[in-house]
Amino acid sequence: AVLAEAGLASAFTHGTGHGVGLDVHERPGLSSTATGSLRTGQVVTVEPGVYVAGLGGVRWEDTVLVTDDGHRLLTGSPKEL
C-alpha cells in the first residue's frame, strides 16, 4: 500500500524474502503469492526492494527468527540513514 501510494508499485519486482539455514538462500520463499505458513524456529529474511529503471534501487534486509509468540529481530544494524 505504501509503495502504491508513492507511485512505486511497479518498481517492486522482487520477492519479499527467503529462508536462511545451511545456505544463505533457502526455502521458503516469501512473496505476495507464496503459500504455506512459517513455523517456530525458522529463520527468514525480510528484504523488500524497489528498483526504478534508469535511476537505481534500494533494498532493506532484516533477518528474523520465527518464535511461538511472533518473531525476534536478529539484525543488529541501526535503521537510521
Domain boundaries, the chain: 2-73
Positive or negative, the CA dihedral 69, 75, 80, 81 is: negative
Residue stretches of the chain with pLDDT short of 50: none
Beta strands 49-52 and 56-59 are antiparallel
Predicted confidence at residue 24, as pLDDT, reads 84
Measured CA to CA, the distance from residue 49 to residue 63 in angstroms comes to 15
Predicted confidence at residue 54, as pLDDT, reads 92
The residue type of 30 is L
Predicted confidence at residue 31, as pLDDT, reads 84
Instruction: Decide if 40 contacts 68 (C-beta within 8 A).
Output: yes
Predicted confidence at residue 23, as pLDDT, reads 85
Predicted confidence at residue 13, as pLDDT, reads 81
